């Protein structure tokens, strides 16, 4: 961000940059949007400003030199009403009249996720971020205010714990097979959804005429879901 500059957007389709200590005439006029500009925001890291428009696009502009348009993001199906930088200025969040919030990676120009289509039923007019994008709040024409929290870390931790749990169960299954603990092996294979391993166990038991007894032992304390 640049405390010496002020950025404004207008229905005349332009973004204007002003010196904070002299608002009598603009420092630069940035042209490129085809409809009115709804939102402008400075990057917290780089010397750029971002704008969103009724033309369904988001643009990033240089705030010095030739004041060129550096990037354009397309993907919303209606006016982009709000935009903000997150993740140390490497990503953008945008809100739109199409009732969606989109997450963009600036380096690749890609929309990597779309949120809020199921949360809002009408235009989103307000978007605010804090915690560098870890939490956001949106307000819509449907009279709803929705709070969002980035659960990526929690989900990744849960997936890691599940993988570790499955690795331990896999080892336990191998030990059961080696020790011919068929009933226990069947229960573990059911929980892990190892159909191929179950087939091998049942084929072995069938050949040794002990299937019924082992199944009664294995399935005696299984839930209906596990049996299915």
- Predicted local distance difference test score (pLDDT) of residue 228: 44
- The DSSP code for 56 is S
- Predicted local distance difference test score (pLDDT) of residue 166: 83
- Predicted local distance difference test score (pLDDT) of residue 161: 81
- Predicted local distance difference test score (pLDDT) of residue 43: 94
Extract the tokens encoding 206: 């069938």
- Predicted local distance difference test score (pLDDT) of residue 215: 60
Extract the tokens encoding 80: 């982009």
Strands (E), the chain: 5-9, 14-19, 28-31, 37-42, 48-53, 57-62, 69-74, 80-86, 91-96, 101-105, 110-115, 124-130, 135-140, 145-149
Q: DSSP string covering 187-223, please?
A: HHHHHTT-HHHHHHHHHHHHHTT-HHHHHHHHHTT--
Sorted by sequence, the CB contacts under 8 Å of residue 7 that are 6+ apart come out as 15, 16, 17, 18, 40, 41, 42, 49, 51, 63
Express each pLDDT in 16-53 by its tens digit: 999 998 889 999 999 999 999 999 999 999 999 999 99
CA angle at residue 54 from 46 to 108, to 5 degrees? 40
* 186 SS3 class: helix
Cβ atoms of 85 and 92 closer than 8 Å: yes
- Predicted local distance difference test score (pLDDT) of residue 27: 93
Q: How many CA atoms lie within 13 A of 7 on its CB side?
A: 26
Residues of the chain with pLDDT under 50: 223-228
- Measured between alpha carbons, how far is 49 from 58 in angstroms, rounded to an integer? 11
- Predicted local distance difference test score (pLDDT) of residue 180: 81
- Predicted local distance difference test score (pLDDT) of residue 77: 93
Dihedral-angle region of residue 145 (phi above 0 means left; psi in -120 to 50 means alpha; beta otherwise): beta
Helix (H) or strand (E) holding 78: none
- Predicted local distance difference test score (pLDDT) of residue 169: 87
- Predicted local distance difference test score (pLDDT) of residue 211: 58
Residue 107, burial from CB neighbour count under 10 angstroms (0-12, 13-18, 19+): exposed
- Predicted local distance difference test score (pLDDT) of residue 18: 94
- Measured between alpha carbons, how far is 183 from 113 in angstroms, rounded to an integer? 45
């Amino acid at each position: 961000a640049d405390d010496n500059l002020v950025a404004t957007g207008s229905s005349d389709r332009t973004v204007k940059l002003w010196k904070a200590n002299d608002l009598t005439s603009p420092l630069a006029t940035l042209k490129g949007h085809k409809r009115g500009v709804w939102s402008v925001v400075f990057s917290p890291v780089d010397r750029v400003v971002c704008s969103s428009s009724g033309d369904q696009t988001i643009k990033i502009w240089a705030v010095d030199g030739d004041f060129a348009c550096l990037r354009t993001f397309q993907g919303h199906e209606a006016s982009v009403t709000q935009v903000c930088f997150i993740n140390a200025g490497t990503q953008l969040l945008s809100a739109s009249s199409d009732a969606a919030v989109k997450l963009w990676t600036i380096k690749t120009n890609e929309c990597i996720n779309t949120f809020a289509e199921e949360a809002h039923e009408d235009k989103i007019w307000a978007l605010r971020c804090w915690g560098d994008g870890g939490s956001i709040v949106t307000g819509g024409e449907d009279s709803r205010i929705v709070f969002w929290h980035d659960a990526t870390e929690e989900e990744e931790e849960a997936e890691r714990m599940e993988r570790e749990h499955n690795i331990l169960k896999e080892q336990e299954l191998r030990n059961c097979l080696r020790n011919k603990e068929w009933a226990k092996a069947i229960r573990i294979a059911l929980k892990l959804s190892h159909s191929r391993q179950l087939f091998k166990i049942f084929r072995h038991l069938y050949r040794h005429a002990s299937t019924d007894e082992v199944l009664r032992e294995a399935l005696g304390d299984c839930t209906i879901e596990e049996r299915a």
